[in-house]
């Protein structure tokens, strides 16, 4: 038996050596190294495809190769530099005369003249800057005076201390409740448990909703490598959330009508998916995504759906009352788990005010569930009171 095996091994060795003897030793050394190189390029390409999809991976690869040509690379860098300089509005010259240290003597009331002078250099926006300021026309002056007077009464309060500033706590709760009432909290389909809080803007509302959804899905389904799927038209706040909170982000091209492509989004759903997003409307085109279809999709997979009503939250409910045919977009849609609505856009409040709403306490509490798990119960009281106002 042993001699049988050894004869065969011996023969195999001789025939292999004979076969390889026709090649140069150098070829024999280089071939496996080359194969390793190709394998590693392939591996990184596959990783790219998994990360970014086939199209952008191919494009990235072609670009990487093209950039290896020095002339092309120099040209690309020069163009990039031009764009950067343009964005920094002409570079240093604009900053001539800027005050970069505290003045030796206080300016006193003169500071007001300085502010007025500087404001005179701003672009005239009145009624002319769409998507920049959300009120124009003759009534804006009176509106601003009223808002400024109200704001100045509370500009120095600290709402963290809710035992001291009970008025502010009440106002926050009331704004949350009123916004929720506009967005379906009174409909029986909403579940009647909508809660939320005020934030410093649409971006913060979205960040909080993404973090809560991530933590909720971790507690509910044990998802530790979270992914979210959004239409290409969604706001850049989702990129920020993905980076801050370690969520893999899939941006899916919109359909021919510039709406979220629900079928295409479905294809990206896997066991790590925590959330999908729809905007009503989205910022780039002002087009409303099919929220009901997205709701069905989210519901059937047991994942979260955030509706971005930053722009539409204080328009759509009224447009609907006026009789415009607006499909359902709020908590009356099954599957919607959170909503953001900017009070500082069509709510006509001063900059720095937005609302984030959650379908129920469990979703909002995503964060708190984890805190409790880790025995960090100490802040529970303040946290719950401060951030959640049952609508
Ligand atoms: C404005 C806007 C946001 C972000 O709001 P900011 O208040 O600028 O942070 C997000 N989504 C949509 C659709 C918006 O219009």
Mean pLDDT is lowest, of 97-111, 135-149, 351-365, for 135-149
Angle at 375 between CA 370 and CA 377, to 5 degrees: 90
Asked, for residue 284, whether it belongs to a domain, the answer is yes
Using CB atoms within 10 Å of the CB of residue 23, give its burial: 0 to 12 exposed, 13 to 18 middle, 19+ buried: exposed
What is the CA(348)–ligand 1 centre distance, in A? 14
Average pLDDT over residues 30-45: 92
Same domain, 206 and 335: yes
Confidence check: pLDDT of 226 > 90: yes
Q: How many CA atoms, within 13 angstroms, populate the side-chain half-sphere of residue 341?
A: 30
Domain of 359 in residue numbering reads as 166-387
Atom 2 of ligand 1 has which residue's CA nearest to it? 310
Q: Select from 52, 71, 86 the last residue of a domain.
A: 52
**310/292 Cα distance (integer angstroms):** 18
Asked, for residue 211, whether it belongs to a domain, the answer is yes
Asked, for residue 306, whether it belongs to a domain, the answer is yes
Asked, for residue 237, whether it belongs to a domain, the answer is yes
Confidence check: pLDDT of 382 > 60: no
Q: Which pLDDT belongs to residue 89?
A: 65
Asked, for residue 205, whether it belongs to a domain, the answer is yes
Who wins on pLDDT, 5 or 260?
260
Average pLDDT over residues 134-163: 89
* Residues in a beta bridge with 276: 229, 305
What is the CA(320)–ligand 1 centre distance, in A? 22
Atom 6 of ligand 1 has which residue's CA nearest to it? 202
Asked, for residue 209, whether it belongs to a domain, the answer is yes
Rounded to the nearest integer, the mean pLDDT of the chain is 89
Residues 39-93 pLDDT 10s = 998 988 888 787 667 888 888 888 888 888 889 889 999 999 988 888 776 556 7
Where residue 363 falls (left for φ over 0; alpha for ψ -120 to 50; beta otherwise) is alpha
- Give the total residue count for the chain: 391
**213/143 Cα distance (integer angstroms):** 37
Average pLDDT over residues 192-208: 95
Q: Which pLDDT belongs to residue 372?
A: 52
**Torsion angles phi and psi, residue 71, rounded to 5:** -60, -45
How many domains are contained in the chain? 2
**Torsion angles phi and psi, residue 140, rounded to 5:** -65, -35
Q: Which pLDDT belongs to residue 383?
A: 35
Residues 248-273 pLDDT 10s = 999 999 999 999 999 999 999 999 99
Who wins on pLDDT, 95 or 165?
165
What is the CA(234)–ligand 1 centre distance, in A? 9
Q: Which pLDDT belongs to residue 387?
A: 46
Q: Do 343 and 179 contact (CB within 8 A), yes or no?
A: yes
Q: Do 277 and 304 contact (CB within 8 A), yes or no?
A: no
Same domain, 38 and 182: no
Atom 8 of ligand 1 has which residue's CA nearest to it? 202
**257/127 Cα distance (integer angstroms):** 29
Q: Which pLDDT belongs to residue 125?
A: 81
What is the CA(14)–ligand 1 centre distance, in A? 73
Q: Which pLDDT belongs to residue 99?
A: 87
Sheet holding 354-358, edge to edge: 195-199, 354-358, 338-341, 304-308, 273-279, 227-231, 248-252
Asked, for residue 58, whether it belongs to a domain, the answer is no
**364/387 Cα distance (integer angstroms):** 9
Residues 285-312 pLDDT 10s = 999 999 999 999 999 999 999 999 999 9
Same domain, 254 and 379: yes
- CATH code for position 267: 3.40.640.10
Confidence of residue 369 (pLDDT cuts 50, 70, 90): low
Confidence check: pLDDT of 191 > 90: no
CA 379 to chain centre: 27
**281/166 Cα distance (integer angstroms):** 35
* Widest pairwise Cα distance in the chain: 106
What is the CA(92)–ligand 1 centre distance, in A? 30
What is the CA(328)–ligand 1 centre distance, in A? 20
Same domain, 205 and 334: yes
Q: Which residues line ligand 1 (CB under 6 A)?
A: 201-203, 235, 237, 279, 282-283, 308, 310-311, 342, 354
Q: Do 279 and 315 contact (CB within 8 A), yes or no?
A: no
Asked, for residue 7, whether it belongs to a domain, the answer is yes
Q: Which pLDDT belongs to residue 358?
A: 97
pTM score, whole prediction = 0.78
Residues 342-352 pLDDT 10s = 999 999 999 99
Same domain, 46 and 182: no
Q: Which of 283, 287, 344 to mutate to test the pocket of ligand 1 (most atoms within 8 A of CB)?
A: 283
Q: Which pLDDT belongs to residue 97?
A: 84
Place of tokens 């993404």: 210
Q: Which of 311, 315, 352 to mutate to test the pocket of ligand 1 (most atoms within 8 A of CB)?
A: 311
């Amino acid at each position: 038996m042993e001699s049988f095996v050894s004869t065969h091994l011996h023969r195999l060795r001789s025939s292999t050596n004979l076969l390889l003897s026709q090649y140069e030793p150098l070829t024999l050394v280089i071939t496996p190294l080359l194969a390793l190189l190709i394998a590693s390029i392939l591996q990184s390409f596959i990783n790219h495809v998994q990360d970014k999809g086939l199209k952008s991976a191919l494009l990235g690869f072609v670009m990487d190769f093209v950039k290896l040509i020095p002339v092309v690379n120099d040209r690309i860098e020069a163009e990039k530099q031009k764009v950067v300089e343009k964005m920094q509005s002409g570079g240093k010259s604009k900053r001539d005369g800027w005050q970069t240290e505290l003045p030796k003597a206080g300016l006193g009331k003169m500071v007001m003249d300085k502010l007025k002078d500087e404001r005179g250099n701003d672009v005239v926006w009145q009624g002319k800057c769409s998507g920049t300021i959300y009120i124009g026309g003759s009534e804006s002056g009176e509106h601003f005076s009223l808002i400024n007077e109200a704001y100045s009464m509370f500009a120095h309060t600290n709402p963290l201390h809710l035992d001291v500033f009970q008025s502010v706590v009440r106002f926050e709760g009331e704004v949350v409740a009123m916004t929720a009432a506009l967005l379906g909290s009174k409909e029986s389909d909403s579940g009647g448990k909508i809660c939320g809080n005020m934030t410093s803007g649409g971006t913060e509302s979205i960040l909080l909703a993404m973090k809560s959804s991530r933590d909720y899905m971790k507690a509910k389904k044990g998802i530790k490598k979270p992914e979210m799927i959004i239409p290409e038209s969604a706001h850049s706040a989702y990129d920020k959330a993905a980076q801050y909170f370690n969520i893999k982000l899939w941006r899916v091209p919109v359909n021919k009508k510039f709406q979220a492509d629900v079928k295409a989004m479905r294809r990206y759903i896997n066991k790590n998916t925590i959330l999908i997003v729809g905007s009503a409307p989205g910022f780039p085109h002002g087009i409303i995504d099919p929220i009901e279809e997205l709701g069905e999709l989210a519901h059937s997979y047991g994942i979260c759906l955030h509706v971005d009503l930053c722009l539409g939250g204080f328009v759509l409910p009224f447009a609907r009352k006026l009789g415009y045919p607006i499909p359902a977009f709020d908590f009356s849609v099954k599957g919607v788990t959170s909503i953001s609505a900017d009070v500082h856009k069509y709510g006509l409040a001063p900059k720095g005010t937005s609302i984030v709403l959650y379908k129920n306490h469990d979703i909002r509490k995503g964060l708190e569930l984890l805190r409790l798990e880790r025995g960090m119960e100490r802040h529970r009281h303040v946290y719950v009171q401060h951030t959640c106002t049952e609508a």
